[in-house]
């Protein structure tokens, strides 16, 4: 969530200050719009929020809604408040809500974007390409970048899922292409173990073991196409933003919202899957951060005219 808020702030291009807040009990238990004197409920463990009030406040996550609503009220409406994702409070409490179609949020002040806002900008990808060119770029083309998420509250990889993943990657190696594989904190140990065992000693298969600099952006930059597990809207969105063909790998532990997100992207032609790979010229959705930034800058211009 933090990455989304910072990604949007960077896309807007105005100077910004990051605040991390912690709500004390009982404030943290209440919906944002029913949380009285929310700013008094902030714990000293987090950052303080006080005047002068900003022109723009971006919040993300359920527990940030109360503070955003309180600042909007305290500023007399001068602060433009933008919330990312479903706030689980009435959208009328904010000037703008940026959400996904599968979030089920509607309203005149709701902006629906196809992907998640992120900070994997062209400049950062170019820097990563240069930094990892000598290592990752030395693997044979076409290089398949593999971005692995993992267990969700709905479950994880079954043995069949793991075997299917290994088989998919082995087929790519059999065609002569290199593998750039990175896991995340949610990737289950048995999945990593199966991949490590299958590609042990293969100089054309790179598996990040968690040591040294994270090659994530380097993989996005240097892969010729990308295979991403469907559980992470952020990883899928960053992959699409890299301008490469993207295929999604679904597994048993996905929830309804994960599947709706993937199905919509596939229906729009933005992604494929191992059985129906994305075409090299598959259109990528416009960067969600750019879409949201344009709307916010327009709202700020209107707000300044009114004041």
Domain architecture of the chain: domains with CATH? 2-114+289-306 (no CATH), 122-267 (3.40.50.2000)
| pLDDT at residue 168 in the model | 98
pLDDT grade for 113, boundaries at 50, 70 and 90: very high
pLDDT tens for 192-250 read 999 999 999 999 999 998 888 899 999 999 999 999 999 999 999 999 999 999 999 99
Query: At residue 95, does pLDDT exceed 90?
Result: yes
Average pLDDT, the chain: 95
**pTM for the model:** 0.92
Please provide the DSSP assignment of 234-300 as one string.
Answer: HHHHHHHHTTS-EEEE--TT--HHHHHHHHHHHHTTS-BBTTBPPPTTPPPPPPHHHHHHHHHHHHH
Sign of CA pseudo-dihedral 67, 69, 74, 80: positive
pLDDT tens for 118-129 read 999 999 999 999
Query: At residue 307, does pLDDT exceed 70?
Result: no
- Segment 49-71 mean pLDDT: 95
Query: At residue 61, does pLDDT exceed 90?
Result: no
| pLDDT at residue 131 in the model | 96
Query: At residue 1, does pLDDT exceed 90?
Result: no
pLDDT grade for 265, boundaries at 50, 70 and 90: very high
Query: At residue 27, does pLDDT exceed 90?
Result: no
């Amino acid at each position: 969530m933090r990455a989304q808020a910072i990604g949007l702030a960077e896309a807007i291009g105005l100077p910004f200050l990051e605040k991390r807040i912690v709500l004390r009990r009982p404030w943290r238990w209440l919906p944002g719009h029913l949380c009285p004197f929310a700013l008094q409920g902030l714990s000293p463990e987090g950052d303080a929020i006080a005047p002068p009030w900003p022109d723009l406040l971006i919040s993300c996550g359920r527990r940030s809604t109360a503070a955003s609503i309180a600042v909007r009220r305290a500023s007399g409406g001068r602060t433009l408040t933008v919330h990312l994702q479903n706030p689980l409070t009435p959208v009328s409490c904010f000037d703008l809500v940026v959400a996904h179609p599968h979030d089920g949020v509607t309203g005149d002040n709701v902006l629906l974007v196809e992907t998640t806002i992120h900070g994997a900008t062209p400049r950062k990808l170019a820097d990563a390409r240069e930094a990892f060119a000598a290592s990752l770029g030395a693997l044979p083309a076409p290089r398949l970048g593999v971005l692995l998420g993992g267990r969700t509250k709905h479950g994880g990889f079954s043995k069949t899922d793991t075997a299917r993943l290994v088989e998919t990657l082995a087929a790519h190696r059999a065609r002569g292409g290199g593998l750039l594989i990175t896991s995340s904190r949610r990737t289950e140990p048995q999945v990593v173990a199966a991949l490590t065992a299958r590609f042990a000693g293969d100089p054309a298969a790179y598996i990040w073991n968690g040591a040294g600099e994270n090659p994530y952006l380097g993989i996005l930059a240097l892969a010729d196409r990308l295979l991403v597990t469907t559980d992470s809207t952020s990883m899928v969105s960053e992959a699409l933003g890299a301008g490469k063909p993207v295929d999604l790998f679904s597994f048993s532990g996905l929830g309804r919202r994960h599947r709706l997100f993937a199905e919509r992207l596939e229906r729009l032609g933005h992604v494929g899957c191992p059985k129906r790979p994305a075409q090299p010229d598959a259109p990528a959705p416009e960067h969600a951060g750019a879409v949201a930034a344009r709307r916010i800058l327009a709202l700020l211009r209107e707000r300044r005219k009114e004041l």
